[in-house]
Amino acid sequence: MTGTFGARLHAAIADRGPLCVGIDPHVGLLQDAGLGDDVAGLETFALGAVEAVAPYTSVIKPQSAFYERFGSRGIAVLERVIAESRAAGALVLLDVKRGDIGSTSQAYADAYLDPTSPLASDAITVSPFLGFGSLDPVFDAARRHDAGAFVLALTSNKEGPEVQHARVDDGGTVAGLMLDHLRRLNADAEPLGSFGAVVGATIGSTDEDLAFNGPLLAPGFGAQGGTVDDVRRLFGSAAAVLPSSSREVLRLPTAEAMRDFVLRTNDELRA
């Protein structure tokens, strides 16, 4: 896959649809599938999900924590999830929500965006709350490697507003400031910028301007309550939206059911 992340994502959405599938094998899902809460269960569950949906969805989003909890052997499974998802034609957005400063921020960028790393992904999620400039090593690495980054902006967790809705000097919000930064990063990008925002599908409403020439990751779609109508109402004017669903897909009993859910939901989102 060549071109900037924004260009690849734009093409993938046109080809496969906007649904992003999160492969988050938490203990309840492993148990419901009759698998052990161990590396063998993790491997069977996660790679089975990849085989079922990666050929049909534009973006696969593994949550790193569910693999990290098993140590190095869990990370090895994550490496396979990334590699096999990309081999099936899906882009991989690794959900790591990293945010640090200086050489540590650079090390995270090298770990997840440098193509020589076994964890190299098409994009990652990052936290800007040590200051947006602290993410510069990630943005620089993304430009260098034609990768992307999704910055937390308006999340749907109940604790989020105490930071994201706080007012800055010009009277706007912290979330609005993050979106303004992204607007500058994506200026003049064609057909789509490579730097996105995370905005929950279940936030209800917002007065923020979500048009910043970059993609929006919208977690909370499906089992957490977000609907197709919510996506249309909240994100109607945005350039590209990735409604993200994990449990709604992963709890289905067969690979065929997972595949059919992805195909059907993409049809509904395109309508």
End-to-end CA distance of the chain: 27
One-letter amino acid of 43 = E
**Catalytic site includes residue 61:** no
Q: How far apart are the C-alpha atoms of 156 and 198, rounded to whole Å?
A: 10
* Closest C-alpha to 93, from 130, 127, 58, 68: 58
Q: How far apart are the C-alpha atoms of 77 and 83, rounded to whole Å?
A: 10
Catalytic: which of 97, 165, 247, 251? 97
Residues forming beta bridges with residue 152, ordered by sequence position = 198
Concatenated DSSP letters of 224-246 = TSB-HHHHHHHHTT-SEEEEEES
Strands (E), 170-257: 195-199, 215-219, 240-245
Specify whether the CB–CB gap between 200 and 219 falls below 8 A.
yes
Q: Which stretches within 17-135 are classed as H helix?
A: 27-32, 39-53, 65-68, 72-87, 102-113
* Closest C-alpha to 60, from 23, 7, 13: 23
Structure tokens at 19: 């649904």
Structure tokens at 127: 């936290």
- Residue 107, H or E segment: helix 102-113
- Residue 87, H or E segment: helix 72-87
Residues forming beta bridges with residue 197, ordered by sequence position = 151, 216
Specify whether the CB–CB gap between 219 and 198 falls below 8 A.
yes
Q: Which residues are catalytic?
A: 97
